[in-house]
Amino acid sequence: MSTNESNFHFYQADSAEVLPTATPADSAKSGPTNSIPNQADLWRSPQVQRPAPGDPDLPEDLEAIRLHWERRGRRYGLSPSASWVDETMLRHEGVILSRYLKEGDRVLDAGCANGYTTIQLARAKPVRITGIDYAPSMIDYANINLGRAGRLTGSASFRVGNFLKLDFPDNSFDKVITKRCLINLGNADHQKAALLEAWRVLKPGGLFLVSEVTEQTAANLNRLRQRLGLETMVPLWHNCYLDEPDFFGFARDYFDIKQVRRFSSTYYVLTWALYPFFVRNGQRNYRNLIHRVGAHLPQVGDWGLQKLFVLQKPGE
């Protein structure tokens, strides 16, 4: 087992990357661009000095997780990696989500990080999308990214928000999206509370698009890795994967489950099982050919950590 491979837990970023320690130069005065900055733009991310006060409505047991993402927002700045270091799958996930949006939709992106996917969706579809995150640094950088995004097909806005207590009226949105936000809510009770808030703010007939990691698919991938003699991977301390029977059993009291889309299974077989098996001493590179091609291959099995659950609020 190589040192590089053994350092990778699910979504482990900090031990796998060497980030610049120099103070980023302030480039806030630069004009808009036609693309969202990539990892290299971490060097040019303007520093945000706004303090990160605690949220009085956030449960005490979530404050450590919120502070983790607050620090991560400051560390990664404008980079898509603020949300997820796997930029290839991050982009592919955005493409998949965009297929569920239609012209005129009002959309909530709950747990938007620094706005990468939110802006991607507003660029792709004529929708009005609001991104919220409980880490103020993420929202600060999301607004900078938005200012640099150039012309959008739709519109986007960002604000600090708490998924457990959304500051929106009932029946406000056509679509609510969560991407790895539920797994950062600490426990199953908080996850279910967020689901109830999504139900409340959705219009009748609206969709709750849940792109998350579950205990069951993580176990499937680990069994495959074990057959190849690879290390069992474990969740990060701040992640609580969804338990499919428990969470979606609860969800059925409020939503109709319309679809389960296994959009990352082939990708994870290639990149988290076969690739580390054959390239034992290789440094993981999320932009290499196997990652870029693997995201677009036909899906087989149920090994992908990311799955999309499409839930519909009964009504129209």
Of the chain, the percentage scoring pLDDT greater than 70 comes to 80
272: DSSP letter = I
Question: What architecture does CATH give domain 3-213+243-263+305-312?
Answer: 3-Layer(aba) Sandwich (3.40)
The full set of domain ranges for the chain reads: 3-213+243-263+305-312
Pairing of strands 106-110, 173-179: parallel
pLDDT recorded at residue 54: 53
- For residue 13, pLDDT beyond 60: no
CB 44 within 8 A of CB 24: yes
Distances from the Cα of 260 to the Cα of 10, 211, 256, 283, 302, angstroms: 21, 10, 12, 33, 11
pLDDT tens for each residue of 109-146: 999 999 999 999 999 999 999 999 999 999 999 999 99
- Token pair listed for 8: 């990778």
**Binning pLDDT at 50, 70 and 90, where does residue 50 land?**
very low
Query: What's the CA gap between 109 and 129, in Å, rounded?
Result: 7
Helix, strand, coil percentages (3-state) for the chain, rounded to 5, are: 40, 15, 45
- For residue 306, pLDDT beyond 90: yes
Identify which has the larger pLDDT, 269 or 50.
269
- For residue 106, pLDDT beyond 90: yes
Among 66-80, 131-145, 163-177, 290-304, name the one with the lowest average pLDDT.
290-304
Across residues 239-250, what is the average pLDDT? 97
pLDDT recorded at residue 14: 31
pLDDT tens for each residue of 234-243: 999 999 999 9
**Binning pLDDT at 50, 70 and 90, where does residue 58 land?**
confident
Which residue is listed with tokens 């703010």?
201
CB 69 within 8 A of CB 183: no
- For residue 42, pLDDT beyond 50: no
- For residue 2, pLDDT beyond 70: no
Pairing of strands 306-312, 256-261: antiparallel
Q: What is the pTM of this model?
A: 0.83
- Token pair listed for 147: 């200012």
pLDDT recorded at residue 197: 98
**Binning pLDDT at 50, 70 and 90, where does residue 199 land?**
very high
